[in-house]
Structure 1
Amino acid sequence: MPHSTSIPLHAPHYVPAPVTKEDLNYADLAVIDLSKADTPAGRAELASEVKEALLTHGFFYVVNHGYIQDQTDRMFDIADIPFSGVADEEKHAYAGKMKQTGSYQGYKLRQYWHIDSGVYDQLEHYNINRDVTKRSHPEALRPFLPEIKDFGRYNHLNVLHPILRLIALSLELPEDSLVNVHNYDAIGETYVRFMKYYPRSEEEEKKTNNVWLKGHTDFGSITILWSQPVAALQIQTRDGNWRWIRHIDNALVVNAGDALDFLTGSFYKGTIHRVVQPPPDQQSYTRLGLFYFVMPDDAVKLVPLTESPVLQRAGIHRRCPDSEAPTMEAWRKARTSAYGQTELKSGQDKGVEEEIINGVVVKHYN
């Protein structure tokens, strides 16, 4: 468990919203107890649970990950600093150039992504590479960089790697098969994200049918979301319906993305999820998010792990020929540059829009 003997720097306390009392249609997600991963027998048990969770929903909770509630609360306090502790002028000075660079490092400012019917987003996020020295940061955040670095390292080594070992075991591969392409010190874009959604006007809600972020898949291998109480995240279940994600105190919400889809020949599909207006009793609150977005090392070519006996038995469905498969660097740059900036075309299925990225069809769901 991470700890420090020094007195922590003062950070204004972020007070989260109360948990909703609305009766929502929640998804029934598996809960993975990561403390069981300390033994071979425990990992074998968890690997089976993770396999079922990824095949059923592509989302699952993780508990007993090593952070206590006070440590999680502290990280949410720090996560709010780039939004409540930095003036708009300074935010613009540290804005990322996503379209030009294909990198989210720095701020994604409000009203950058087109949502629908001429309405643009009302969310900000600030992204910090696990190498916190990769670029400069707003003044208010600089004293907290050591804690952010420790948080990223903990997510990578103590949460991500154990999960990747479970996924490898579920594919009947050597435990470190996926760990070896998600190295902490390798060149890549795996990063900590702080994100804040702000309430929208009634007119914006009507024009977008209350959708704040269209249904999409993440472009990395997995995403780690530290659960927070404002209900807004939904997943599209296998029956095509949208289900809410329930908040669990100090739990992690983990989902599969494009890179895992590529690597497993669509055995584990990237999970379709979206963000919508919160229920009535939470609509006046902002929604603060704390994430660890995970990608394989930049140089990894996104081709199926054909040596997996599980994939051999199930059949491998490639999204493109191996010779044309992108590297992780090429895929994340293309997805980052295009997202919310390109004109989408109607797909064959109702409510589905499409774009072509690196020769691969990418779908967005409304």
Structure 2
Amino acid sequence: MTFEVPAVDITAYVQDGTVEERAAVARAIDEACRTVGFIQILGHGIARETQEGLASAMDDFFALPLEQKKEYRTPPGINRGYAPPKSESLSLSLGVESASRMNDFFEAFNIGASTADYPEAAAAGVIDESDYSPNTWPDRVPTFEPRVQAYFVEAKRVAETLTTIFADALGLPAGFFDAFTTHSLDVLRMNNYALPPGTVDLDGDLTGMGEHTDYGIVTVLWADQVAGLQVLGSDGAWHDVQPADDALLVNLGDLTGRWTNDRWMSTLHRVKPPIVDGTIQRRRSAAFFHDGDVEAVIATLPSCVDEAHPNLYDPVTVGEHIAAKLAGSRAGVRNAAGRETARVLSAGT
């Protein structure tokens, strides 16, 4: 059986589509979420100029000397700022014992929603800077902030459009996910896999980004059309995935898997960037993580539990789940994630 990431045009939800057109999109999304967990999204409405602005901002920042980029590094508990190469191991977010050192050969820069974005929740004491940290903007790169923020706003719109589709696809009341995302822990992670010569010893297997699932509700990924991203299929093999022309890649996070009792798939994926003439071929990506409110309780949907499908998950708050994941990937603390660990260990190389 051939592995394929389905392509779905969501124009009917971005614009004013008919009831029939929207129903067709919802059916296609449900099928993709049940069978693959990754989707090529077309008709998303993010202007090419906005995408090019994001790409140019990333290029300008990652071109800085390493010591200058390190000026914008933050402690492991703060999911903002610069992450140098080999400072993370995403496999540890799954609890894989063999991932015993920080070995992911990528660098990244994170921004996200802060308390300033949700003043009412902050004033009420519902959120604070421990989860909604201020952003660290690189002042060495002119106009970095407006270029990245313009894309952040559009990616958030796409993510919210997708949750509207999810509610229809799952037969839930319209706006179901709104109650869980009034002050969502949204993060944009910009990744770079082109490392300077001499920084990586290529005498063994190179992992650009270790196998992992995403943590939250849904991820919207902008990426170069360069090989590297691999998705674990139901056949237990890793398959290469690249975005189609004008498409964004979308995948589900763990919280949606928990909500749906694994009816919908939070799919394992990794990055193994190609090596050409002894150097890593350049690859850029920017993942927008739509993760939900920190205090929101995620419990399995009753419609996804029956005699043949017993409940697999205890309720958990968004904050508890993501804190455990980040402790693994950024602080080197193995996460106790038994079901996910088994999937990694049973996969082929």
The TM-score normalised by the length of structure 1 is: 0.76
Unaligned runs of 5+ in 2: 92-98, 117-133
Question: Structure 1: how far apart are the matches of 2:333 and 2:323?
Answer: 18
Corresponding residue to 2:4 among 16, 22, 28: 28
Q: Structure 2: which amino acid aligns with 1:80?
A: D
Q: Deviations over 1:25-55 (max 9, x none)?
A: 9841111111122322222111110111011
Corresponding residue to 1:94 among 49, 52, 72: 72
Q: How does 1:75-90 map to 2 (within 5 A)?
A: 75-84=54-63, 86-90=64-68
Contact 1:219 1:259 in 2 (8 A): yes
Kept in 1: contact 2:229–2:272 (CA 8 A): yes
Structure 2 residue 297 is the aligned partner of structure 1 residue 318: no
Alignment of 1:128 onto 2:147: no
Which residue number in structure 2 is paired with residue 356 of structure 1? Answer: 336
Cα distance 1:90–1:64, how it changes in 2: closer, same or farther (>3 A)? same
The match for 1:70 among 28, 31, 49 is 49
In 2, Cα distance between the equivalents of 1:43 and 1:213?
A: 36
| TM-superposed deviation, 1:119 | 7.5
Report the equivalent of 1:160. 159
Task: State whether residues 222 and 255 of structure 1, in contact with CA within 8 Å, keep that contact through their aligned partners in structure 2.
Answer: yes
1:104 aligns with 2:83: no
Q: 1:177 to 1:76 in 2, by over 3 A?
A: same
- What CA RMSD, in Å, does the superposition of the two structures yield over aligned residues? 3.0
Q: What SS is found at the alignment partner of 1:120? A: coil
User: How far is 1:82 from its partner?
Assistant: 2.3
- 1:207 — aligned with what? 204
Q: 2:253 aligns with which of 254, 257, 274?
A: 257
1:334 counterpart (315, 324, 346): 324
Q: Check conservation: 2:231, 2:269, Cα contact below 8 A.
A: yes
For the 8 Å contact 1:233–1:274, the answer to whether it is kept is: yes
* 2:293 aligned partner, one-letter code: D
Residues 47-66 of structure 1: pairs in structure 2 closer than 5 A? 47-66=26-45
Of 284, 291, 295, the residue aligned with 1:288 is 284
Deviation at 1:176, TM superposition (A): 1.0
| Structure 1 segments unaligned to the other structure (5+ residues) | 1-24, 345-354
| Counterpart position of 1:42 | 21
In the superposition, the TM-score normalised over structure 2's length comes to 0.80
Equivalent residue letter for 1:148: V
Residue type of the alignment partner of 2:311? H
CA contact (8 A) 2:81 2:109 kept: yes
Q: Tell me the alpha carbon deviations over residues 189-235 of structure 1, each in whole angstroms, 9 at most, x when there is no partner.
A: 31112110135889855533x43323211111111111312110011
Quote the residue 2:225 is aligned against.
229
Secondary structure of 1:140 counterpart: coil
Give the counterpart letter for 1:327 in structure 2.
T
In 2, Cα distance between equivalents of 1:139 and 1:205:
33
Taking a change above 3 Å as real, the CA distance of residues 33 and 285 of structure 1, as seen in their structure-2 partners, is: same
Instruction: Call closer, same or farther: CA 1:163–1:301 in 2, change over 3 Å.
Output: same
For 1:156 and 1:264, the matched residues in 2 are separated by 22
Aligned residues: 315
Amino acid at match of 2:80: Q
Contact residue 106 and residue 128 of structure 1 kept, 8 A:
yes
Say if 1:160 and 1:110 are closer, same or farther in 2 by CA, change over 3 A: same
Identical aligned residues as a percent: 22
Give 1:335 deviation, angstroms. 0.7
Please state how far the C-alpha of 1:80 moved relative to its aligned partner.
Answer: 2.0
Is 271-280 or 28-37 further displaced after alignment? 271-280
CA contact (8 A) 1:277 1:283 kept: no
Q: Which letter maps to 1:97?
A: P
